[in-house]
């Protein structure tokens, strides 16, 4: 990448160099930054909409059903008699939708 920019700078036409640099920035924005921002918004919306009865999977791979929701945390019931208090930021997947698709 560095060699390409050096060759372009030595060519004498700095306008073309800045045009290429600008195009690279635009491509980087549309293929890297924008999709990441969209995914982040969707995850935030998902975490805000968590409610009692939703089956979830945490980032650590723990499967459970939400039994209590608070502002920043919630309690999940795991198989057996396990109950865990989890931060909302630790949820990665809504299993209720996956179970509905299989049924």
What is the DSSP annotation of 26-39?
A: HHHIIIIIHHHHHH
pLDDT of residue 68: 92
Please give the Cα distance from 12 to 103 (Å, whole number). 65
Domain ranges of the chain: 2-46, 51-102
pLDDT of residue 31: 93
Q: Please identify every stretch of the chain with a pLDDT value under 70, giving residue numbers as ranges.
A: 1-12, 96-103
Coil, helix or strand for 75? strand
pLDDT of residue 99: 60
Classify 51-102 by CATH class.
mainly beta
pLDDT of residue 38: 93
Place of tokens 């700095």: 14
């Amino acid at each position: 990448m560095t060699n390409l920019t050096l060759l372009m700078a030595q060519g004498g036409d700095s306008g073309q160099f800045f045009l290429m640099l600008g195009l690279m920035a635009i491509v980087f924005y549309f293929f890297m930054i924008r999709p990441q921002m969209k995914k982040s918004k969707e995850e935030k919306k998902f975490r805000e909409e968590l409610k009692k009865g939703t089956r979830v999977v945490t980032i650590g791979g723990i499967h459970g059903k939400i039994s209590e929701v608070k502002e920043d945390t919630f309690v999940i019931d795991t198989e057996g008699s396990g109950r865990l208090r989890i931060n909302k930021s630790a949820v990665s997947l809504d299993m209720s939708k996956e179970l509905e698709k299989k049924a």
